Amino acid sequence: MTCPICESGTLRKRKVAVEKYGVNVGEFEAEVCTKCGEQIFSEKEAARIESKITSLGLWGNPVDSRIYKVGGNFVVSIKKTVAKAMGIDKPVGVRLIPQVKKHQLIVELA
Ligand SMILES: [Zn+2]
């Protein structure tokens, strides 16, 4: 079958290592493009991956969190699993990029 992404490579069945946010989830069967390397999972295999991610105590996307009031300021809580995957093991400086119209606040690690 021709790759639907690059439209020139061929898809071949292969076992591929799956990572989520830098955490190894395991090996799963995918159709892999010989040219661009795109990995396409069947619905069944994608469901197996999602259930493995859940059983590993990882998180879905987006991650639910909460903003707490501390004194006159506010603090965003980050789950331990997310912090670990991001390599955060102590307080770190970050840059906040407010996206007021989109109702988003991007947190960029310094
Ligand atoms: Zn391709």
For a pLDDT cut of 90, what percent of the chain falls above it? 67
What is the pLDDT, as a whole number, of residue 60?
65
Residue 39, CA distances (Å) to 52, 59, 60, 66, 94 in order: 18, 21, 20, 34, 33
What is the pLDDT, as a whole number, of residue 86?
82
CA of 27 to the centre of ligand 1 (A): 20
> For the chain, what is the domain count?
2
Q: Tell me whether residue 18 is in a domain.
A: yes
Residue 36 sits in a domain of what CATH number? 3.10.20.860
CA of 5 to the centre of ligand 1 (A): 5
Compute the mean pLDDT over every residue in the chain, rounded to the nearest whole number: 90
Predicted confidence band at 53 (pLDDT cuts at 50, 70, 90)? confident
Predicted confidence band at 71 (pLDDT cuts at 50, 70, 90)? very high
The residue written with tokens 């292969």 in the block is 14
CA of 85 to the centre of ligand 1 (A): 29
Identity of the residue numbered 7: E
CA of 16 to the centre of ligand 1 (A): 16
Same structural domain, 16 and 49: yes
Same structural domain, 71 and 51: no
Map residue 45 onto helix, strand or coil.
helix
Predicted confidence band at 61 (pLDDT cuts at 50, 70, 90)? low
pLDDT at 59 over 70: no
Round to whole Å and give the CA distance between 32 and 15. 9
pTM of this prediction?
0.55
Q: Which residues, chain by chain, have CB under 5 Å from ion ligand 1?
A: 3, 5-6, 9, 33, 35-36, 38
